[in-house]
A and B are shown apart, each in its own frame.
Chain A
Amino acid sequence: EVQLVESGGGLVQPGGSLRLSCSASGFTFSSYVMHWVRQAPGKGLEFVSAITFNGGPTYYADSVKGRFTISRDNSKKTLYLQMSSLRTEDTAVYYCVKDLSGSYSFDCWGQGTLVTVSS
């Protein structure tokens, strides 16, 4: 069974930093593109970032470009999201998501971790 477990969320002040982690199991982690998708309280879903199989090309939404960095450690089956210069509008539940290979869609989601940016 595919499992994605996020951790690292919490309360942080504007301008601060936070690193999210996502531990994967139940599939060959190194064979899949992985994503971060977020959802602000009471709002819709928003693509944040994607990373290819070996950590090569990475992609970002304009709203986080230059502030967030996605990375992965295939030996640890773990996905990361380093967030810096955080803003109040970054407050959201952050989901770790597995790509449905070749279909440009998201077939497995973690339970999410809440990031709250507030003074």
Chain B
Amino acid sequence: QSALTQPASVSGSPGQSITISCTGTSSDVGSYNLVSWYQQYPGKAPKLMIYEGSKRPSGVSNRFSGSKSGNTASLTISGLQAEDEADYYCCSYASSGTWVFGGGTKLTVL
């Protein structure tokens, strides 16, 4: 159950778009369309932003979108806003009732 690989940090200016990658293996990301993404502010609980690869829960801005190609999933945030500055984690179902998270990416809005 090795962690999924995410960049440690990404940055962008307000109004721009950024993409966070999440690389797994054929045993997790590549096997299932069950990648989810979470936003976490310091000292707060995570919040679900994307599930099943590209679906948004009710109330999540359509500026957030998800996709997958092979063993790599991606989260794109368009029209970057100051409030988007947070940590982002990807997660994939990994069979046998277990899940694996990425190491997290710190997004800085310049």
Contacts and interface: CB of A to CB of B under 8 A. Distances in A.
B46 A109 contact: yes
A110 B104 CA distance: 19
A50 interface: yes
A59 B97 contact: yes
Interface string B74-107: 0000000000000001010100111111111000
Given A111-B45, A112-B45, A50 B97 contact: yes
A105 B52 contact: yes
B34 A105 contact: yes
Nearest to B3: A44
Interface size class of A (residues with CB under 8 A): 20 to 34
B45 A47 contact: no
Give the most central of B3, B57, B96, B97: most A CB within 10 Å. B97
A11 interface: no
Given A45-B91, A109-B46, A104 B96 contact: no
Contacts of B100: 47
A47 B52 contact: no
Give the most central of A35, A57, A58, A59: most B CB within 10 Å. A59
Interface in B20-61: 32, 34, 36, 38, 40, 45-48, 51-52, 55, 57
18 contacts: A35-B99, A44-B89, A44-B103, A46-B101, A47-B100, A50-B98, A57-B97, A59-B98, A60-B98, A100-B48, A100-B51, A104-B36, A104-B52, A104-B99, A105-B34, A106-B91, A111-B45, A112-B45
Interface of A: 35, 44-47, 50, 57-62, 95, 100, 103-107, 109-112
Given A47-B99, A105-B48, 19 more contacts: A44-B102, A44-B104, A45-B40, A47-B91, A47-B101, A50-B97, A50-B98, A60-B98, A95-B46, A100-B48, A100-B51, A100-B57, A103-B36, A104-B32, A104-B34, A106-B48, A106-B91, A109-B45, A109-B46
